[in-house]
Amino acid sequence: MIGAAAMLHGPLRVAAVIAVLLVGPARAEVTNRIVATIDGEPITGHELRQWQQEQADQGQEVPPDQALEALVTQKLLEKEIKAQGITARDEDVERYMKEVQGRSGLDEAGFNKALAERGLTVESYKAKVKGEIERAQLVNKEIRQRVNVSQAEIKRYYDAHLTDYATADKIKVRAIFLRVPEPGDDAAVAATRAKAEELRDVARKGKSFQDLAKQNSEGPGAAEGGELGTFARGEMEPKLEEAAFALKKGEVSDPIQSGNAFVLIYMDERIGGSHRPLEEVSPEIREALYNEALQHRFQDWLSRELRERHHVEVLN
């Protein structure tokens, strides 16, 4: 077959050849330009772009201004893993993959299809999992064992964030429910309202609300004197809650229409807000402080200690 250059004649052909000689190497030089070195080993622009594309294919977009640093960090971790002889066991890799598949709710074929949609084969995913396990083992060895959270630190955090552990006001209430026999009948509604107002007045004059509830209530807790239980805000029907939380101990509300009934609320007891005790919240505080310290320690190890073990040079 005759090439395109052979179809040109005279000066045009010479110019085309010169252009190929000039442009070809220049493009290769840009593509393969060294952007960084680690212990003298180069990272090229082509390798960086290829790595970025792999991350994107797997749904992990890395901002361009952070890509080189991320790749350098990954290579440093790989070097350290190799230097320390850390190797994930095949059974650990298989177990991890089975756990991920189980959480996904997919059978083996569906799981493999999901991997393919992310640009991964079973083997490439297995390699990815192996790398993740080995990095976790490295972090455990280098960092996790050096992080500790004392009881004094937990107490200081608790005292500084006491409002985060506040418990809401609660109320213990009783109620009388009077059902409207014919909800669509205005006269029946008015009669039921009038009976509720009468009971309210009797209770406010000193008659035992508990006795009135046993004798008249047609709702929950009637046999127990209208006892409904203890509630925090957000746990009652909004109209009933608004009326109930406005009462003082021993007070009775006005009749409240709720569905096909009128309700009287009696404030049995107000339970003031407090705080969850330190003993109860210590485990969650410890975990939060531990994770925070672990993250700081990890970042310090990456940016300082790990870099000191290797010679990293980023080129403009």
Whether 94 is covered by a domain: the verdict is no
Half-sphere exposure of 222 toward its Cβ, with a 13 Å CA cutoff?
12
Q: Of 92, 88, 117, 91, nearest to 104 (Cα)?
A: 117
The Cα 244–Cα 225 span in angstroms is 17
Are the beta carbons of 308 and 149 closer than 8 angstroms? no
What dihedral angle (degrees, nearest 10) is formed by the CA atoms of 239, 242, 246, 249?
70
* CATH for 193: 3.10.50.40
Check pLDDT > 50 for residue 284.
yes
Whether 103 is covered by a domain: the verdict is no
122-153: pLDDT as tens digits: 998 999 899 989 988 988 888 887 888 999 99
Check pLDDT > 50 for residue 40.
yes
75 and 171 share a domain? no
The Cα 139–Cα 144 span in angstroms is 6
Distances (CA, A) of 80 to 38, 74, 92, 310: 12, 10, 20, 9
Check pLDDT > 80 for residue 15.
no
Per-residue pLDDT at 316: 67
Whether 190 is covered by a domain: the verdict is yes
Whether 193 is covered by a domain: the verdict is yes
CA angle 75, 79, 84 (to 5 degrees): 150
Check pLDDT > 80 for residue 266.
yes
Check pLDDT > 60 for residue 11.
no
Tally of domains in the chain: 2
Check pLDDT > 70 for residue 42.
yes
DSSP state of 89: -
Model confidence pTM above 0.95:
no
Per-residue pLDDT at 176: 96
Per-residue pLDDT at 209: 95
Q: Could you say which of 61, 80, 99 is where a domain stops?
A: 80
> Domain limits at 13?
5-80
